Chains A and B, each alone.
Chain A
Amino acid sequence: MARIVDRRMDGRNKSAVNRKRLIRRYQAQVKKAVTEAIARRSITGTDEGEVINIPAKDISEPQIGIGRGGLSEQVLPGNKEFSRGDRIERNKSGAGGGGSEASDSGEGEDDFSFEISRDEYLDILFEELALPDLIKTKVVHQKTAKPVRAGFSNTGVPANLNLSRTMRLAKGRRLAMTLPMQRELAEKEEQLEEEESKPIPNQLLTRRLREEIAALRSRVLSIPFIDDHDLRFNQFVVNPKPSSQAVMFCLLDVSGSMTQSIKDIAKRFFILLHLFLNRSYETVELVFIRHHTTAKEVDEEEFFYSKETGGTIVSSALELCNDIIDERYDVADWNIYVAQASDGDNWGADDAVCEKILVDKLMPKLQYFAYVEIESNYPKKLWDYYENVARIHPEFAMRKINGVTDIYPVFHELFKRKDVAAMGAHA
């Protein structure tokens, strides 16, 4: 008799390890596909995986076979019109010599493509990256807990006693328990009164009634004022609270000198940073600040797509950023990141102001400030002043980007694992 085994409950992903090996082996191609995907995607389009294409020649498993050429004969089915000795043009389709038999080794001319999941996609994207503050990063995964009210309990420590509930319950209980006795008492008292109001009270009866009334009174009094059953305590449950919340400020120059292509690059830079923070923090809030001569907080849509013209005063954006932090984002509760994209143009006298705001006000509050200067063809003064900031604050990073393809490497470099010791000093 045959054995019948139900294996359906057994492990499914027997090939998972082989899949990992494949991805590991083709890391370069996978990374390339991921990088290209970022350029294509919108800020919200990060919930999907990505299709990876690997050129056939890279993924082939070569075997020695017999190539085309020489003399070979093949037997084929389905002869319709051929007679012995017929000659057929070489390029005639259908009767192609060396059909599938002869090209065993050349099989699979198509590129090999497969899909990676969202998690694999993000893992690959951020594989070598880490937050500049390594210690902070570690904290991300250890959630601090906060007690939250969660109804009432009949046990607890005296400090948590809920007095009004306890008293209310006690009163209710007392009422309920004494009610029959009170009724009897009232009856007896009435009887007694009635008896005593008679011209000749029955002494025996009145004495008995008095005794009974006294007994009842003492029974009523013996009902405890507060019983264990009445006690109600406030209850708290310890809720894991993500201490890891971050706010990311996106600062974008929208003055006349910023072309659409520059804005495009800037957008991708923000997307990438957002993705990265999103992965490291439970919640990431976004604040978009656009500026020309004045700065304004806007929503995402307006941030990326509306058009403005005019000159540039960078410090307006930095000031606004600082104000918003003071107003809404307590430094103790928030990890604050600022990413600024600009073409580097600024009104000359403003550069020094920027440096001062950054050094004195803004930088001490931030985890990281990332500045990218996009497509700047000649040296800009702002860059020099920012370099001063970077000297004082190591968590101020600045880079130049020249095209879409530069984004990923720049980003990569910005957040490359910093030397632990150096960062430890900051933490």
Chain B
Amino acid sequence: MLAEKREVISERSDWTMELIEEYNAAIADIAKGEFKLDCYPVQLEIISSEQMMDAYASVGMPVGYAHWSYGKKYLTTERSYKRGEMNLAYEIVINSNPCIAYLMEENTLTMQALVIAHAAYGHNSFFKGNYLFRSWTDAEAIIDYLIFAKNYVNECEERHGIEEVELILDSCHALQNYGVDRYLRRRENELHHEKFVQSDREQHLHNEVRELWQRLRQDEDIDEEVAETRLPAEPQENILYFLEKHAPLLESWQRELVRIVRKVSQYFYAQKQTQVMNEGWATFWHYMILNKMYDRGLMTDASMMEFLHSHTNVIAQPSYDSPYYSGINPYALGFKMMMDIKRICENPDDEDRRWFPDLAGSDWLETLDFAMRNFKDESFISQYLSPKLIREFRLFALKDDDEEEHYQISDIHDEQGYREIRRKLATQYELGYREPNLQVYNVDVKGDRSLTLRHYRDNRRPLSDSASEVLKHLHRLWGYRVDIETLTEEGESSITHSCG
């Protein structure tokens, strides 16, 4: 212990390139050496706050095609930054190889250390390890693809005019959540409880195979359109893909634009489903790494205090009735769960042994690594949220049934409610629960070529009002009438939205 005692890297709070290099070396040593994080090579980029806002505006993409909505995002970001509502320091890290993390010049040295540990090693290892990122994103190729997309959009603008390109992009953006083949919807959430690791992988595989099949089938479709085949032969949940392949009136450059939006939104598909895990993982590691640095005598008391102050703010979870409440803080939930898993591995009590017989007493590094690799938010919570944390967060479930006069508290943090709360919270993170299940159901091939989407409704929850706006965009891409047909829980279907 004493032999490990080293010199403090810096007493001061302002950074220099040399100090960042030293810090990075120390952090890398701990992250890779001590904690065995498997990371892409790291590239740290020092940027100004304006550049950080640029990065925010392009949703973290280092390159992006031109579109007004990014201008809107920039202005929104700028406004809240100027009002001091926002801390720009933490978040931008690019899932590429090498992994690019941004350090803002305004940060103190301690904050730079925090960001390096959080983003350049925490998020980085998550990108490299998590199965969703591995299968849905391509760290090697993303930057090249984005450059291609940018240039292509630019060329289209020159050839066809800004207006024309904007129309197509607007419409594609409205459908960007429907650009992947999701997992098949699980209607009975109760069924998957203990087996999700496997089921997740299986579904994932299934998904890939389906995509392959769809590709094959589409080729046939073109010939068979003439014959009396149904289009699509099976309901198709990847609406953008369907449009790209089958929209009758799109020109080839328009199809390519549809494809670009689809590919780019696919890149965010993994991110959307791993917010809690990804942020929890990165927060856990910046906490572990900086503490280790302090233990090794590399950081002063003062900078440790600064770090802890910042860290505490990040993992704060206001309660539901606080004016600061804005949903469950993914940093808080994720970080606490990671810490809790570590605790269960190292110091399990009787309750933990009952709930997590496999975890109690296992190697915490290996257990966390396994969790990081094989889960997404939904399954992660379902698998690992402990009664202790449910008590700590004082979680409760609120039932809102529009057929009843009152809201009802359906579960609280007691013996009877742990499993239910865990299940309900997990469901809350399931993409299929957060977004309506819409699929391309039928094209009137022989008739007026109208397109019917089917909305598989559940729990009587309707589509939001914006559905008719989105339908206009779909109509623009499809070129003929489009309908949304809602299939109720009782199996009755009726047209609920129509356009064209």
Contact = CB atoms under 8 A, between A and B. Distances in A.
A75 B424 contact: yes
Interface stretch (B132-140, B247-255, B346-354, B467-475): B467-475
Interface in B63-100: 66-72, 74-76, 79, 98
Contacts of A104: 434
Given A70-B461, A71-B460, A14 B174 contact: no
User: Which of A12, A59, A106 is most buried by chain B, counting CB atoms within 10 A of its CB?
Assistant: A12
Interface in B319-336: 319-322, 325-328
A82 B470 contact: no
B24 A63 contact: no
Given A97-B398, A114-B75, A3 B43 contact: yes
A8 B461 contact: no
A99 B24 CA distance: 41
A99 B413 CA distance: 20
B465 interface: yes
A78 B394 contact: yes
B17 A4 contact: yes
Interface in A7-22: 7-8, 10, 12-15, 17-22
Interface stretch (B50-58, B289-297, B299-307): B50-58
Given A18-B66, A24-B68, A75-B424, A85 B75 contact: no
B44 A67 contact: no
Given A5-B46, A21-B68, A64-B438, A15 B319 contact: no
Contacts of A14: 51, 54, 58
Interface in A67-82: 67-80, 82
A83 interface: yes
A25 interface: yes
Interface string B26-61: 001000000000000111111110110110011000
Contact of B162 (A12, A21, A63): A21
Given A18-B74, A89-B406, A61 B120 contact: no
A105 B408 CA distance: 25
Interface residues of B, number: 97
Given A18-B57, A22-B72, A88-B406, A70 B51 contact: no
B299 to A, nearest CB: 19
A100 interface: yes
A62 interface: yes
Contacts of A74: 397-398, 400, 424, 428
Interface residues of A, number: 66
B466 A78 contact: no
B428 A101 contact: yes
Contact of A82 (B43, B79, B412, B467): B412
A28 interface: no
A69 B461 contact: yes
A66 B436 contact: yes
B181 to A, nearest CB: 17
A10 B51 contact: yes
Interface string B337-369: 000000000000000000000000000000000
A69 B398 contact: no
B221 interface: no
Nearest to B438: A64
Contacts of B43: 2-5
Given A14-B58, A73-B400, A8 B47 contact: yes
A244 B22 CA distance: 60
A1 interface: yes
B213 interface: no
B243 interface: no
Interface stretch (B274-282, B414-422, B441-449): B414-422
DSSP majority for the A interface? loop
A64 B398 contact: no
Contacts of A82: 396, 409, 412
A7 B407 CA distance: 53
B472 to A, nearest CB: 8
Contacts of B105: 8
B466 A62 contact: yes
A247 to B, nearest CB: 40
B318 interface: yes
A75 B397 contact: yes
Contacts of A84: 409-412, 414, 416-417
B174 to A, nearest CB: 5
Contacts of B219: none
B45 A90 contact: no
Contacts of A23: 71
A199 interface: no
Nearest to A20: B71
A27 to B, nearest CB: 11
A71 B396 contact: no
B21 interface: yes
B74 A19 contact: yes
Interface string A12-44: 111101111111110000000000000000000
B71 A15 contact: yes
A62 B470 contact: yes
B407 A95 contact: yes
B402 A69 contact: yes
A75 B407 contact: no
B51 A86 contact: no
B428 A8 contact: no
Given A24-B162, A62-B473, 12 more contacts: A5-B44, A14-B51, A14-B54, A18-B71, A22-B68, A22-B71, A68-B462, A72-B461, A75-B421, A77-B318, A84-B412, A106-B464
24 contacts: A2-B41, A3-B42, A3-B44, A5-B46, A15-B53, A19-B74, A22-B72, A60-B466, A61-B170, A61-B173, A65-B436, A67-B463, A67-B467, A70-B457, A73-B398, A73-B399, A75-B396, A79-B413, A80-B394, A83-B412, A89-B406, A90-B407, A95-B320, A101-B434
Interface of A: 1-8, 10, 12-15, 17-25, 59-80, 82-90, 92, 94-95, 97-101, 104-106, 112, 114
Interface of B: 17, 20-21, 24-25, 28, 41-48, 50-51, 53-54, 57-58, 66-72, 74-76, 79, 98, 105, 120, 162, 166, 170, 173-174, 176-178, 317-322, 325-328, 393-403, 405-414, 416-417, 421, 424-425, 427-428, 434-436, 438, 457, 459-467, 469-470, 473
